[in-house]
């Protein structure tokens, strides 16, 4: 692969920071790395392969000569700047929800639909899915290919890091406050998150679901390229720093046993089966943090229906859920298309 001029937009955020780390760890062929954020971040230097790089303020002129742009600065920033970057020949890999459901913009999880990357040519933009959706489809794609999935019922247990650095701080500060008999302060979330569970991620929609829940419904169908899969989701914020956990119940078209699922997933790309309950082994958020795999365990048959399977799916929301998935897309883009 030749090397590329790469920009990270939102470089000082939780996801942007991880993007820089993943580019370095995977030795992505970077010719020049440009770090962009808001003016609040001016004066900050970040390190890439031992070299210090100053953060620059994002403007319309930031993209001259840049070939790949990894965006994670929020939906409104992407809406404004991704088309500007694309018009200058920069292929944008966008982490926000801004373009995911635009029909001619590909929504990509490399283990599931790498071929869709070719559609970057339509608009110069590739969308990175929602973190909860990514880990779920990585685990379910092999099962869908083998026996067909009719319906998915998922409940999530989502880490605060998905909301960014200020939410990570809020969970630590509230925990410290409560353990020293002080009043916890809630600024990022509408209620106390320490020692609590909030059935509320992103905004509520008219149908009573949250936007996060509907992302799981709509993005799953688009990534799996199958509008017939029925999906219903309940997304919950829990006091965990890194890694989302998910209870996933599926109804399949053809019967598949728990053993067959275990066998199928043991060779699936990006998946690590951890399923040995007699030894107290099952996927845990604290073990998935900092790792690249999607961990699957508690695989068992749903005895309430003829063709049902239950799974527990855990992955680092900032890595596979965001930064790693984006860099994997960039790797395929570079080696196959640019």
Residues marked as catalytic: 131, 244
Structure tokens, 146: 């083998």
77 contacts ligand 25A (rule: CB under 6 A): yes
Which listed range, 68-76, 189-197, 297-305, 328-336, lies at the site for ligand 25A (CB under 6 A)? Answer: 68-76
Rounded distance between C-alpha atoms, residue 178 and residue 170, angstroms: 12
Question: What residue 235 binds from ligand L14, ligand 25A, none (CB within 5 to 8 A, per partner kind)?
Answer: none
CB 132 within 8 A of CB 235: yes
Region from 34-42, 63-71, 117-125, 155-163 binding ligand L14, contact rule CB under 6 A? 155-163
Residue 164 or 184 with smaller CB distance to ligand 25A: 164
Quick check: 162 and 321 in contact, CB under 8 A?
yes
| Closest C-alpha among 268, 333, 321, 334 to residue 299 | 268
Phi-psi map region of 127: left, alpha, beta (phi>0 left; psi -120 to 50 alpha): beta
For β-strands 4-9 and 244-252, DSSP reports them as unpaired
In the complex, what is the shortest distance from the CB of residue 202 to ligand 25A, in angstroms, rounded to a whole number? 7
Q: Which is nearer to ligand 25A, 158 or 252 (CB)?
A: 158
The residues in 309-338 that bind ligand 25A, with binding defined as CB under 6 A, are 321-322
> Should residue 72 be labelled a site residue for ligand L14 when binding is judged by CB under 6 A?
no
Count of residues binding ligand L14 (CB under 6 A)?
9
Question: What's the closest the beta carbon of residue 115 comes to ligand L14, in angstroms?
Answer: 23
Residue 14 contacts which entry, ligand L14, ligand 25A, none (Cβ below 5-8 A, type-dependent): ligand 25A
What are the respective helix, strand and coil percentages of the chain, to the nearest 5?
A: 35, 25, 40
Verify binding: residue 75, ligand 25A, rule CB under 6 A. Answer: yes
Cα–Cα–Cα angle for 186, 188, 192, rounded to 5 degrees: 35
Least distance from ligand L14 to the Cβ atom of residue 324, Å: 14
List, in sequence order, the alpha helices (H) in 102-252.
Answer: 120-123, 131-147, 165-179, 211-224
Least distance in angstroms from the C-beta of 265 to ligand 25A: 24
Size of the site for ligand 25A (CB under 6 A): 27
Footprint (CB under 6 A) of ligand L14, residues 222-251:
none
5 phi/psi in degrees, rounded to 5: -85, 120
Mention every residue, 6+ apart, whose C-beta is less than 8 A from residue 267.
none
- CA–CA separation, 79 vs 60, rounded Å? 13
Work out what residue 29 binds among ligand 25A, ligand L14, none; the CB cut-off runs from 5 to 8 Å by kind.
none
In the complex, minimum distance from the CB of residue 132 to ligand 25A, in angstroms, rounded to a whole number:
10
Strand, coil or helix: what is 207?
A: coil
- State the Cα–Cα distance between residues 2 and 334, nearest whole angstrom: 8
State the DSSP code for 157: E
Q: Is 130 one of the binding residues for ligand L14 (CB under 6 A)?
A: yes
Q: Given the rule CB under 6 A, which residues bind ligand 25A?
A: 10-16, 37-38, 40-41, 58, 72-75, 77, 95-97, 131, 162, 164-166, 321-322
Q: Can you give the binding site for ligand L14, defined by CB under 6 A?
A: 97, 130-131, 158, 162-163, 201-202, 215
């Amino acid at each position: 692969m030749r090397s590329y001029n790469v920009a990270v937009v939102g470089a000082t955020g939780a996801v942007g920071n991880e993007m820089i780390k993943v580019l370095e760890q995977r030795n992505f062929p970077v010719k020049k790395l440009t770090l962009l954020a808001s003016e609040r971040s001016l004066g900050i230097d970040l390190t890439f392969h031992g070299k210090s790089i100053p953060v620059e303020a994002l403007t319309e002129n930031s993209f001259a000569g840049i070939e790949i742009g990894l965006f994670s600065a929020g939906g409104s920033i992407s809406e404004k700047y991704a088309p500007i970057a694309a018009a200058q020949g920069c292929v944008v890999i966008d982490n926000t929800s801004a373009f995911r459901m635009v029909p001619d913009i590909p929504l990509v999880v490399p283990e599931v639909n790498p071929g869709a990357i070719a559609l970057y040519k339509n608009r110069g933009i590739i969308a990175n899915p929602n973190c909860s959706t990514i880990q779920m489809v990585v685990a379910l794609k092999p099962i869908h290919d083998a026996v067909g999935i009719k319906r998915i019922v998922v409940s999530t247990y989502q880490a605060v890091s998905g909301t960014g650095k200020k939410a990570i701080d809020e969970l630590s500060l509230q925990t410290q406050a409560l353990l020293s008999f002080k009043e916890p302060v809630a600024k990022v979330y509408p209620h106390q998150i320490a020692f609590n569970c909030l059935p509320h991620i992103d905004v509520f929609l008219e149908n009573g679901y949250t936007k996060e829940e509907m992302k799981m419904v709509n993005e799953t169908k688009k990534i799996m390229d199958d509008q017939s899969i029925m999906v219903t989701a309940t997304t919950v914020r829990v006091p965990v720093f890194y890694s989302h956990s998910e209870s996933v119940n599926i109804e399949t078209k053809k019967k598949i046993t728990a053993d067959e699922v275990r066998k199928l997933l043991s060779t699936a790309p990006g998946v690590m089966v951890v399923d040995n309950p007699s030894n107290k082994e099952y996927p845990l958020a604290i073990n998935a943090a900092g790792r690249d795999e999607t961990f699957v365990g508690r695989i068992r048959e749903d005895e309430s229906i003829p063709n049902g399977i239950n799974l527990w799916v855990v992955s680092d929301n900032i890595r596979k859920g965001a930064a790693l998935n984006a860099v994997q897309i960039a790797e395929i883009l570079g080696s196959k298309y640019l």
